[in-house]
Amino acid sequence: MATQTVQFPPKKLRRELYLIGFRMDPASNKPQFYTLIGSEGESERPITRQGRILFFRSQKSAAKALAASDNGFRGMRSIPDELEMLCEVGEALHVANQKDSDEDGWLFELIAVFDDLLRAVELAPPQEYVEVLTAVATRLVETTEFAGFLKQRGMTRERLEDALLWCIGAVAAKSSWVE
């Protein structure tokens, strides 16, 4: 047999945790809440409890949130104290609504994080929102300009904004908080 279809012994996946901050209000000077995203090889997912994304308001609560999680990351002891990513929700909505390009990457990062969060709670946006989110994310991989692309594809900023707002609501509805 020249090649094995199953590697033996199995390749050990490198597991890491990342601290993700969220800022809804652009006037705030720091994140307003956080979650931890766990990575296992190519797969990333947030910590959850009973199928709900675990959020916390202070970085000091990260260990408590991790201990409360039940989706396979609880035993990890390398809790990050530095932000891996700041999701600027308000700024991303502003970009989607008013800007022609996503120069700072706020929109792209928010779409990517929503993808991970919604997959973790097994929710999918309505098809019309999936189409616009997928098209914009794909476009933003190539270039920061997206407004002309939307127009060219017959998509509107309103549909993009509605898709983002749907994601915000779905994530909020499928979340749990640790104090």
The predicted model scores a pTM of 0.88
Q: What is the DSSP letter of 99?
A: -
Query: Is the Cβ–Cβ distance between 111 and 129 less than 8 Å?
Result: no
Angle (nearest 5°) at CA 147 between 144 and 148 = 100
Number of structural domains the chain divides into: 1
With a CB cutoff of 8 Å and minimum separation 6, the contacts of 167 are 114, 117, 118, 125, 129, 133
For position 9, what pLDDT does the model report? 62
Range of the structural domain that residue 155 is part of: 15-174
Residue 90 lies in a domain: yes
Does 8 map to a domain?
no
Antiparallel, parallel or unpaired: β 33-40 and 43-46: antiparallel
User: Would 10 be classed as within a structural domain?
Assistant: no
Predicted confidence at residue 43, as pLDDT, reads 81
Asked if residue 9 belongs to a domain, the reply is: no
pLDDT of residue 10: 58
Tens-place pLDDT, residues 129-170: 999 999 999 999 999 999 999 999 999 999 999 999 999 999
Q: Each residue of 78-109: pLDDT tens digit?
A: 899 899 999 999 999 999 999 999 999 999 99
The C-alpha R_g of the chain, in whole angstroms, comes to 18
Residue 6 lies in a domain: no
